[in-house]
Structure 1
């Protein structure tokens, strides 16, 4: 193919891509939001009980009042935290089952903005027997960091290590190994923490649970392998290309990002990488996991875990490869399960659900961002049909009401 023809084809491809992107944006913006009555009827049709006050109201003024009360509560909390006071109106779940008490969990939360969303998430997952490490992006505003730090200090009470900010100062960049490093930094700190825990759960600030802590514990009690839940898939060609060549971080605004917050991006070089260490078989899957303390120790302290971690430093989206690869290696090389059984057992429950822009069975009523649907209230019936722990993703600036609804529903 001549250079001129190649250049022309590339220009056509670029124009088509821009048109497709515009169509996605227009569809997202112009998509008609269903009314509250339509949402209620849809939930009724699906046999889902509606326990959300925002949906129960019919008069706009009344509905606005319901949301205004919650917005005002959060604003009061933010004001208290900004003034170094512990809020009195935090909304944690009071009653805790014996199963929850007997299975303390360790959480890592990566976050960079949107304190109202972070607060609602933390209120939904906090239990006094659990342990929490929060890794905040080094690029985040100081105001956000201070509020989160003060919130964590308010729930620590007499247990000084119950909830804390990560000691690592990391700039978290999409598709970069910094995401894996932020995750593993929290895991390392949780392992040396003196408080007991059974499973490690990694989440991000823009997610929200579809089930409560009691239901999560119930799922973990059903685990039939020594690791837990790790979404694992065999890599197709496009995914395998991630580790054929070295990737580097480029400083400056990405040509593919419309957000001023994301200043750096990852690009592929022409430098070929060596084969994966220790002859390990590369896998990939969701970044979210629920892994046992035993396997967590293996990830951080074993030679295989340390070698893979170092090898993944220049691999695109390395956080999607670390846990799945080590999980399959751990179960098969130790002779615990044959590969087929290990694959099925690890995939028994999803720790995260995401709606992608090209899903033919889903009409995004929120907006598309980085090929993902940022959810709004109209999406509630669809996501409540999904089976999993965390739903990705939410933004209080787009629609605060959907997270408010979910927080009420998981308390039932």
Structure 2
């Protein structure tokens, strides 16, 4: 009888331990799979206008998007980086030796549109590059925390060590870039050139094409700061004193107080706030008395980022390009006043005289083949970014010299006709 009771006790003990172990395994499995459950299976289909840019559609291939709730995924999921990176389809290996040997640095300034930022970052992200993200100090706390959580998943991506309250056309916008430059100058990654972006940009060239463009005969060891001598119509920006109303706007001081001439009798240039700069030039910007004094002089000007970089690029400095003019196709932008001359009109709508792209603007963007396109919005014309993003990822992966990881695919094709996609693609 005692032997029977002992056997019964042993059985109950084993049964209890088995239940506990199974419960732990079940709970852990539930936790690790939870992020995937936040994603929806009902994605917005690609618009009919987009099909012209997706391979195989003329043969009956339909492209099905995988992730459509990027923002809610970041905000609502208990982030585990091991899940997030593949779930959001970030590329995790250098796609060619050519790109690995020429790492790039990126400065991205953001303040809104979390989903656009995530999609921009994954479009430009490569593990050999380095990324400094400047989040506007006035951005909502939830937004700032979401960006911080995402960035923490990547060793080569970090937040700027100092955050500015950025004002449109104010000195704070220039200071935000400089903050990131100081951080990037300390990076152990041997980046060759730095490019600045805003959260409503999106790449047109692949990373491989950017590397080749930077190393082309025209731009090897040179800066890109498109611009010309300041026109008379723009001289008020630097001739009169301005003050920045933090987080609001820039206004003139008094009734038109005049500024002193620029230091060192520099010729002031006017151009784009966007650039591609050599690392040696960045060192010059951070250390040169000329750059420092021009920066101080620029603090009470209007939109100083539109004269600072291009003016410095016309003094004797590493990578300077004295006769560059408007060369350097950095941005595809449709300005309202250039309608009919450089573009065929905005198919989306204008904000501050800049086109927010609609899907019908994509042929112009793709044919122009600039480094990046500006601007996009999620709420007004989401189909435009959906289409450009898929077109860009298809191009990036088609140029890869390494095996493609399935997690890198943003969408997958399936045949709606009798012929399979695999047969049509291999015969192409």
TM (norm. structure 2) is 0.73
* Aligned 1:391-402 pairs, distance under 5 A: 391-402=373-384
Residues 10-409 of structure 1 correspond to what in structure 2 (within 5 A)? Answer: 37=48, 50-51=53-54, 66=64, 69-72=66-69, 75-80=72-77, 83-86=78-81, 87=84, 88-93=86-91, 94=93, 96-156=95-155, 162-222=156-216, 223-224=218-219, 226-250=221-245, 264-269=248-253, 270-330=256-316, 342-344=322-324, 347-358=326-337, 359-360=339-340, 361-409=343-391
**Whole-angstrom distance in 2 between the partners of 1:276 and 1:210:** 37
Quote the offset at 1:194 in angstroms: 2.4
Closer/same/farther in 2, CA of residues 57 and 184 from structure 1, 3 Å limit: farther
Measured after TM superposition, the shift of residue 389 of structure 1 is: 0.8
Q: 1:204 and 1:287 mapped to 2: Cα distance?
A: 11
Shift of 1:228: 2.4
Q: Considering only aligned residues, what root-mean-square deviation do their CA atoms show, in Å? A: 2.6
Give the Cα separation in 2 of the matches to 1:288 and 1:406. Answer: 21
Deviation beyond 4 Å, 4+ runs, structure 1: 35-40, 55-59
1:81-119 CA-to-partner distances (Å, cap 9, x unmatched) read xx3433141222355111111111111100001111001
| SS of alignment partner, residue 281 of structure 2 | helix
Query: What are the superposed Cα offsets for residues 265-296 of structure 1, whole Å, 9 maximum, x if unpaired?
Result: 11112221010011111112111111111111
Cα 1:286–1:124 shift into 2, 3 Å:
same
Shift of 1:362: 2.4
- Residues 70, 118 of structure 2: 8 Å contact kept: no
Q: How far apart are residue 147 of structure 1 and its match?
A: 1.2
Q: What is the TM-score with the length of structure 1 in the denominator?
A: 0.76
Helix, strand or coil: the match of 1:228? coil
Contact 1:277 1:311 in 2 (8 A): yes
CA contact under 8 A between 1:286 and 1:352: conserved in structure 2? no
Distance 1:267 1:207 in 2: 27
Moved more, 91-100 or 211-220: 91-100
Report the CA distance shift for 1:119/1:58 in structure 2 as closer, same or farther (over 3 A).
farther
| Separation in 2, partners of 1:307, 1:146 | 36
Q: Distance in 2 between matches of 1:400 and 1:113?
A: 15
Instruction: Tell whether the 8 Å contact from 2:109 to 2:197 is kept in structure 1 after alignment.
Output: yes
Cα 1:181–1:56 change in 2 (3 A) is farther
Compared CA separation, residues 72 and 226, structure 1 to 2 (3 A): closer
Check 1:52–1:186 CA distance in 2 against 1; reply closer, same or farther (3 A cut). farther
Distance in 2 between residues matched to 1:377 and 1:210, nearest whole Å: 14
Q: Which range is displaced more, 224-233 or 130-139? A: 224-233
Q: CA 1:52 to 1:246, structure 2 compared with 1: closer, same or farther past 3 Å?
A: farther
User: CA offset at residue 227 of structure 1?
Assistant: 2.9
- The 8 Å contact of residues 177 and 318 in structure 1, kept in 2 or not, is answered as yes
Larger radius of gyration: 2
Cα deviation, residue 196, structure 1: 1.6
Report the equivalent of 1:47: none
Q: Distance in 1 between matches of 2:163 and 2:258?
A: 30
